[in-house]
Chains A and B, each alone.
Chain A
Amino acid sequence: MEKLTVSTVTPVYSGKDYLPDLVAKIEHVRENWNTLDAPVELIEAIFVVDAAIDESLVVLNELKGDRPWVRVINLSRNFGQHPATVAGILHTTGDWVVTLDEDLQHDPAYIERMLETSVFKQADVIFANPEQSVHQKPIRDWTSRGFKSLVARVTGNPHVQEFNSFRLIREVIGRAAASVCTSETYFDIAVCWFTNRVFSISLPLKDTRFIKSGESGYNIHKLLGHARRMIVSSETKVLRTGALFGLLAMVMAILFGGNFLINKLFYPETIPVVGWTSLFLALMLFGGLLAVLLGIALEYLTVIMLHSQGKPTFFIVDRSSDHLLAGYFRRKQGNAIPDKDVTSD
């Protein structure tokens, strides 16, 4: 039977306490699909050790001993979670790639649900979105959501709010995005260069490490770094808005200037204070002009930046093999999902 294949990628930094359980859970998914003779196989679990600060590498080497499907990639130094994810994706060989955190925040048991959603929505990317508070600390969750919302507005990319490190990506899309990523590219933004078939599903995600210890891999410095890379990797909508404001200021300055000139020539007695209006209009005109010119220059810069970062002109994707999974999921659901829910190219 023809089978689709799934690879998992997990960046590892300080997960020695969680890795045995994570591998066991991935193994359970793998064995479950084998037992059910599902048309999908979890062929590899790739762990990218990003200069781990604990004994994660030792633990992983022990775990892979009798599990040939577990692969360990050891990065030469700490590059960060996104570069580690990119490295892992470039080493995968499955039709679908699932990225998971090391700390069991993302339960591999949900991979099947994500696959199911992707197949019926003909999606290329599925992000997991938390059903409830991830950190059980309202301020932490609110900051995270608010931050994403702000970046979504600034960049004009609505998918930003769905971004999550628990994601299922069609391999060709993930590989293509990973291959164009530089150290300054935000991986999920690069994914959106290749597809807009991006969806999210609500899952019960919980950052148990943060809840128990109060420690998080993210601090304000890292969050700002994320924001910077998100903005640098995006077409910034705010630039166009700025240029538009500049243009509006110029038009208003010209209109008011005309009005002022008529008043000056024909009704000079209506101008009580001489000089103030012309000074204000000159500032408005040249300020607007500067904003427009700066907007154009930055637009050029954005085009060059995106080009140098590898934003493609076009990309081809083949979704035809999804039908293998669609049949499986329909059978599992007892034909609960009607045919019309599945769109085809």
Chain B
Amino acid sequence: MLFLTKTSPRTNAHVVSIFGAGLIGLAIHQSLEKTTCYHSETLPFTWNNLNQQHQDVDAVNEKIATALQHQTGAEQHASRVSFVWSAGKGGFQSSQDVMEEELKNFIRVLEIFKGLKKKYPETVFDFHLLSSAGGMHDGQRFVDSILAINPCSPYGSLKQAQEQLLITARPSINYILYRPASVYGYVGHDGRLGLIPTLLYNGHYNKVTTIYGNLNTLRDYVPSIDVGKYIADRIRLGLSDVKEPVKLLASGKPTSIFEIKNIVEKISGNRIYLTFRDEMENSSDITFSPALLPRGWQCTDIETGIRDVGNRLFHALV
């Protein structure tokens, strides 16, 4: 997990714990580091071994206690702790078992959050949950209401369950739910590569890319950097002024895989070879009305976003 603290003597303490250092987690981290003086470190947080996890939780608690210990009375009242849940290895194809395990992990983190809130009653606690627009609105075109959810996959049900856990905990927990659409970006080859980096990478090496769907599948693509920046801003500003806790982070512009392929070919100068497979089909269209996009959210256009990913990826390959 990523742990950031801001303990400048002139400002009130702010602790940010980001659970999940994937595409979005790292983007949030980078954005926070870029714009504010946070001290950042990576702490171990084990998901599968419960005993080890208890030890990791103790270490996190200690870190938070250290960050808050200098603050007393009015100062402590203004200090803040933000938890960000951007973890999860699951996706649309994940099984029920994997998702149940992930939900247990989420509940454990939520318990840590509640425990800390009880321990430091003067401190403001925020919970930022990364949900999924695709998971919540599976197979829906031109979604024009955030309430019209339709979780079809175990992944969608997991995201719904996570959201419900926070919604039912209100008002004791300050929370915000982000539903990003199809997020793309590049943070290295350690994790999963999404569609766009895979096309760029395979194009570079003249490899064939397998598409589980078809060329006309419509999705709403948003760059991880924009998502990270938006969430980082909310983390910095706090949630006291947030009236609508569900934020749909989409572009409002549907894009087909065919368009993505063309843009990637144009940008990289490489031919993209595709093969299509019907099994594990993931070809349903998921698009959103721009009327639902939150104020302050800005999404880079798809071509510029792919150029940025291409630059990062090709730079890493050199």
Chain A contacts to B: CB under 8 angstroms = 5, 43-44, 68, 71, 90-94, 172, 175-176, 179-180, 310, 315-318
From the candidates B216, B262, B291, name the one contacting A310 in the complex (CB within 8 A). Answer: B262
* Closest Cβ neighbor of B141 among chain A residues: A93
Please name all residues of chain A whose beta carbon is closer than 8 Å to the beta carbon of B253 when the two chains form the complex: 90-91
Also in contact, A175 and B289, with CB within 8 A (given A92-B254, A316-B214, A316-B215) = no
Please name all residues of chain A whose beta carbon is closer than 8 Å to the beta carbon of B291 when the two chains form the complex: 68
Would you give the 0/1 interface string for B214-247, flagging 1 where the beta carbon is closer than 8 Å to chain A?
1110100000000000000000000000000000
* Closest Cβ neighbor of B271 among chain A residues: A307
CA distance A172 to B258 in the complex (A): 9
* Closest Cβ neighbor of A176 among chain B residues: B258
The 5 closest A-B pairs by CB, nearest first: A179-B259, A172-B216, A93-B287, A93-B142, A93-B254
From the candidates B216, B262, B290, name the one contacting A316 in the complex (CB within 8 A). Answer: B216
Please name all residues of chain A whose beta carbon is closer than 8 Å to the beta carbon of B144 when the two chains form the complex: 68
Please name all residues of chain A whose beta carbon is closer than 8 Å to the beta carbon of B216 when the two chains form the complex: 172, 175-176, 316-318
CA distance A318 to B256 in the complex (A): 14
CA distance A181 to B31 in the complex (A): 35
Interface residues on B, range: 20 to 34
CA distance A176 to B263 in the complex (A): 12
Interface centre among A91, A179, A317 (most CB of B within 10 A): A179
CA distance A310 to B256 in the complex (A): 15
CA distance A34 to B216 in the complex (A): 27
From the candidates B142, B214, B255, name the one contacting A44 in the complex (CB within 8 A). Answer: B142
A71 and B290 form a contact (CB under 8 A)? yes
Would you list 8 pairs from A and B whose C-beta atoms are within 8 A, ordered by A residue?
A5-B141, A68-B144, A90-B255, A92-B254, A93-B142, A93-B218, A176-B258, A179-B258
* Closest Cβ neighbor of B302 among chain A residues: A90
Please name all residues of chain B whose beta carbon is closer than 8 Å to the beta carbon of A44 when the two chains form the complex: 142, 289
Would you give the 0/1 interface string for B98-114, flagging 1 where the beta carbon is closer than 8 Å to chain A?
00000000000000000
Chain B contacts to A: CB under 8 angstroms = 141-142, 144, 214-216, 218, 252-256, 258-259, 262-263, 285, 287, 289-291
* Closest Cβ neighbor of B266 among chain A residues: A310
CA distance A317 to B287 in the complex (A): 19
B142 and A180 form a contact (CB under 8 A)? no
From the candidates B214, B262, B290, name the one contacting A179 in the complex (CB within 8 A). Answer: B262
**Would you give the shortest CB distance from B283 to chain A, in whole angstroms?**
10
* Closest Cβ neighbor of B262 among chain A residues: A179
**Would you give the shortest CB distance from A179 to chain B, in whole angstroms?**
4
Please name all residues of chain A whose beta carbon is closer than 8 Å to the beta carbon of B289 when the two chains form the complex: 44, 68
**Would you give the shortest CB distance from B271 to chain A, in whole angstroms?**
10
Interface centre among B216, B252, B259, B287 (most CB of A within 10 A): B216
Also in contact, A175 and B256, with CB within 8 A (given A93-B218, A180-B262, A316-B216) = yes
* Closest Cβ neighbor of B255 among chain A residues: A90
**Would you give the shortest CB distance from A199 to chain B, in whole angstroms?**
21
B142 and A175 form a contact (CB under 8 A)? no
CA distance A180 to B266 in the complex (A): 10
Also in contact, A175 and B258, with CB within 8 A (given A68-B289, A316-B214, A316-B215) = yes
Please name all residues of chain A whose beta carbon is closer than 8 Å to the beta carbon of B141 when the two chains form the complex: 5, 93
Please name all residues of chain A whose beta carbon is closer than 8 Å to the beta carbon of B287 when the two chains form the complex: 93
* Closest Cβ neighbor of A180 among chain B residues: B262
Please name all residues of chain B whose beta carbon is closer than 8 Å to the beta carbon of A94 when the two chains form the complex: 142
* Closest Cβ neighbor of A87 among chain B residues: B253
* Closest Cβ neighbor of B290 among chain A residues: A71
B142 and A5 form a contact (CB under 8 A)? yes
CA distance A176 to B214 in the complex (A): 13
Interface centre among A5, A43, A93, A94 (most CB of B within 10 A): A93
CA distance A68 to B291 in the complex (A): 7
B262 and A90 form a contact (CB under 8 A)? no
CA distance A310 to B262 in the complex (A): 8
